[in-house]
A = this chain, B = another copy of it.
Amino acid sequence: MSESKAALQAFKSEVAAWMAENVPSDPGFLLPLTFLEVGTEQQLDFLREWQHKLWQAGFLGMHWPTEYGGQGADSAYQFIVDKELGRHRAPIIFNTIGLNWVGPLLLDMGTEAEKSKYIKNILSAEEIWCQGFSEPDHGSDLGAVQTRAVKEGDEYVVNGSKIWTTLGNYADHMILLARTNTKTERKYDGLSFFLSPMKVAGVEAHPIRKVTGEYGFNQTFFTDARIPASCLMGEEGGGWTVAMKTLEYERGVTAGQASAYWGVAVQVDDMIDELSAIEQDGEPLLSDPIVRDDLVGFMMEAKALSLSARRMAIPALGTDYPMGLALSVKYRGTEYERRMKHYTASKQGAQSALYVGDDDAVSGGFWQRAYFSNFGATIGGGTTQVQANIVAEHVLGLPK
């Protein structure tokens, strides 16, 4: 279902015009850099309203079915919207776990009832989703999940604790991976997947403060929390498969996401713009040959990432390692951003040591905060070290 260039171009103009009118201006308080950092009610209300507005204008879920609140168009349209959001430096579209993982998952594997019940409210931001996979003692090792869900009549009784539940204190629903059977031969076969309500007795989300000083994460405690048995997605004991499918969405291997505009995007051009105003030894920093050489390195990395995305569309140019480019995106992209943000934060002379809140800080401390915040990307969703293993094993066929 590819669209004519002309139609896409026209749509782009339409979106751009709408955004020029409707993108909210600076609200006067700090907005989160990513959906992982929504830490105050003020931020939440603002972002909820903004997402709702975008959806009402017909610019969210562009390729999701109309019967569930989408626009029934090609995914190219969503891509255009996301790009324009970036170009207009719009606030982020924050209901990311719903938009990027839960929505595509339900559209792919959900029942009609599940789709009808949940998808529209994801788009409209009426219902917020969070994810309950990781646990305090297991981090990246999902197979070891300990949170118990025991069936009693038409309910499951849940006990245990999840960690890093982004938006958990605000969320209406959680995609929950819990152990329904402790006696299976393979530990994976004891896991089940739930579309679990958050606003029930026995569920408490405790905010966790981050390295940036901000909030957004929670530790979620389940204490004899009773959830309807109908929350089970798929079969009991079939949770591992659903969770792995979810991770594919999280890792961007599979398409279908409603908006990938979940964080403030930073481009190499922004970096150069920022540094072009800085002086070193009384001269423009950008006249220093070493800095220039470093910037060439960053520009090449940025270009290589763009070219790689382009190349993925030409299968004949990736025959040796068919899934390689896609599987290495997170490994490359998140580390590149870490280095680039750190570099920009560190080349500001004495201003490098200022932080958000100081009037003299370069761009309000944006780069320092962005560097700190970026660890969410190199740690969450499988650390860089785990990503390297994934590429080594799944692309190069190296042993575990």
Contacts and interface: CB of A to CB of B under 8 A. Distances in A.
Interface of A: 288-290, 293
5 contacts: A288-B289, A289-B289, A289-B290, A290-B290, A290-B293
A290 B294 CA distance: 10
A289 B291 CA distance: 10
A293 B290 CA distance: 8
Contacts of A289: 288-290
Chain A binding surface SS class: helix
Number of copies: 2
Contacts of A290: 289-290, 293
Contacts of A288: 289
A50 B144 CA distance: 66
Q: Which 5 pairs from chain A and chain B are nearest by CB?
A: A289-B289, A290-B293, A289-B290, A290-B290, A288-B289
A364 B293 CA distance: 31
Contacts of A293: 290
A293 B288 CA distance: 12
A102 B153 CA distance: 78
A313 to B, nearest CB: 36
A166 B289 CA distance: 46
A262 B288 CA distance: 43
A293 B293 CA distance: 12
A289 B288 CA distance: 9
Nearest to A288: B289
A268 B289 CA distance: 23
A284 to B, nearest CB: 15
A191 B289 CA distance: 59
A290 B288 CA distance: 10
A288 B290 CA distance: 10
A354 B290 CA distance: 29
A54 B289 CA distance: 50
Nearest to A289: B289
A299 B203 CA distance: 59
A293 B291 CA distance: 11
A347 to B, nearest CB: 14
A268 B11 CA distance: 62
A150 to B, nearest CB: 36
A398 to B, nearest CB: 15
A288 B293 CA distance: 12
A130 to B, nearest CB: 35
A297 to B, nearest CB: 11
A158 B293 CA distance: 60
A382 B289 CA distance: 39
A392 to B, nearest CB: 15
A293 to B, nearest CB: 5
A169 B290 CA distance: 51
A294 to B, nearest CB: 10
